[in-house]
Amino acid sequence: MLSIGKELTADQRLPKALVSIMRSDRYVALASVLMLGDRVIDNGMTNTAATDGRDEWYNSDFVDTLIDAELRALIIHECKHKMYKHLTTWEWVAIKYGHSLTNQAMDYVINLEIVDENPDDFCKLPACALLDVKYRGMTTAQVANALHQDQQQQQQQQKDGNSIPTGSGTPDNTPPEEGQSAGGNKSGGMDDHDWDGAKEMTADEQSQLAKEIDEAVRQGALAASKMGKGGNTDFGDLLKPQVDWREALREFITSTCAGSDYQSWRQPHRKYLGHEMYMPIGISERVEELVLAIDTSGSIGRRVLTKFMSEVKSVCDVVKPDRVRILYWGSTVVADEVYENQLDGIVKSTKPVGGGGTDATCVPDYMRANKIKPQAAIMLTDGHVWGSWGTWDCPLLWCVIDNKQAAPDVGKVLHINGGDV
């Protein structure tokens, strides 16, 4: 095992630690991913280490506190954020649970992997790393949900006046012995996640980065399989979608379309005024319209469409839009179906029509021409479009079936494996 002397500077230790990792049999499969992006010392960027999903930054003072095995673990940790596309593919989790809990969830998942891969402590987590075995086998979304529930329980206990036992948790739900310690970052854990930096990447840059990561994973898996090595990481799973499309679809609809009910004391309820009771009136902000535009020109079969529509309907049961409009399109919009207060039959009654080419601009053009102004639009397509992705006036989600190369430059994109529908 290569020993990196602590008398070296952080600038010298980083590349030596990287070489040590790449020479290790267990991380042969990560070699190509480790070479993606820049890896630099920048004390102004972070107090520990940070990544935006492409580049990595390290604080020299923090690096100086780490032994060789801990520095290797830190590099592997940042690499896995990159490999899993945490700051792009999993953005929907941050929208749902907030960045703090999502940051913790990602770290819990990665750190457990590092522990399991290194029974001999070739890579050893620093004391400030987040680690809890109860999260073993869980996804980032599942851990984030568990942390959220714990946080709500703590908040309810505080609201009820029940004190939380000392040492049971911190305000951001990180147990002291597993969260911030000497050298850790301010939100708990051993690194920062640059969500803002990830968002600054253009759609083309994010698409190109995703392609480079996918190719690096494929190359690494091939190299590891030829050598019969590669550690405990299941690289086959990395080549599959990392996000449950149903959860992502639900999150988009509920976050962009959910109406809200609230009470206003400015408008007293007339029913109770005659009884000398001043009660608030309930006010509802209704979801007026959701547009689902379905590409009927390509490979989207009836089975996929039926499953997709069933999921949309189940979400609408919660959101309760006044109207769901289904547009079938190819080179033009060929059918316009409107469902009001009859969503129970939407899956069976909708009738796909169309064929021919795929011109995505026809949908927003049709909506503007007919003064259709939904609170959100969902485009279900195989992604093989002509030219522009269109100019849109509402929140937009592209659900692309079996075409990871498709990279719309407007709206959010959800890639779906048709076999998983």
Hey, what are 193's tokens?
């996640």
Strands (E) in 7-105, as ranges, are 39-41, 49-51, 56-58
- Specify the pLDDT at position 279: 43
> Same domain, yes or no, for 260 and 197?
no
Are 205 and 296 found together in one domain?
A: no
Question: Which residues constitute the domain of residue 219?
Answer: 10-241
Q: Does 31 share its domain with 149?
A: yes
Query: What residues form DSSP beta bridges with 282?
Result: 263
Closest CA to 79 of 29, 12, 43, 13: 29
**Domain end position, chosen among 190, 222, 241:** 241
Contact by Cβ (8 Å): 118, 20: no
Domain boundary among 209, 241, 273: 241
Q: Are residue 165 and residue 252 in the same domain, yes or no?
A: no
Question: What domain count does the chain have?
Answer: 2
d(CA 249, CA 398): 10
What is the amino acid identity at position 231?
G
- Is 1 within the bounds of a domain? no
In a domain, 332, yes or no: yes
Q: Rounded to whole angstroms, how far apart are CA atoms 366 and 293?
A: 11
Domain of residue 379, CATH code:
3.40.50
Q: Which residues does 371 contact at the CB level (< 8 Å), separation at least 6?
A: none
* pLDDT at res. 267: 45
Q: What is the pLDDT of residues 11-25, one digit of tens each?
A: 999 999 999 998 888
Same domain as 275, residue 212: no
Of 211, 241, 271, which closes a domain?
241
Same domain for 219 and 328? Answer: no
Considering the domain architecture, whether residues 17 and 76 belong to the same structural domain is answered as: yes
Based on the domain organization, do 178 and 268 belong to the same domain?
Answer: no
Q: Answer yes or no: is 160 within a domain.
A: yes
Residue 69, domain member (yes or no): yes
Q: Which of 263, 290, 61, 266 is nearest to 182 (CA)?
A: 61
One domain for residues 304 and 371: yes
pLDDT value at position 29? 85
Confidence (pLDDT) at 315: 66
Characterize the bridge pairing of strands 376-381 and 396-401. Answer: parallel
The bridge status of strand 192-193 relative to strand 49-51 is parallel
Phi/psi at 105 (5° precision): -60, -45
Give yes or no: residues 100 and 214 share one domain.
yes
Residues 16 and 113 in one domain: yes
For residue 280, the model assigns a pLDDT of 44
- What pLDDT shows up at residue 194? 94
Query: 272 and 216, same structural domain?
Result: no
Give the predicted TM-score (pTM) of the model. Answer: 0.56
Residue 64 lies in a domain: yes
Q: Which residue has the tokens 């069976």?
A: 348
Distance between CA atoms of residues 367 and 150, nearest Å: 44
pLDDT at 386: 78
Compute CA 107 distance to the chain's CA centroid, rounded to the nearest angstrom: 14
Please state, in angstroms and rounded to a whole number, the distance separating the CA atoms of residues 85 and 49: 17
pLDDT the model gives residue 342: 67
Residue spans of the chain under pLDDT 50: 1-5, 164-183, 230-242, 259-285
Evaluate whether residue 3 is within a structural domain: no
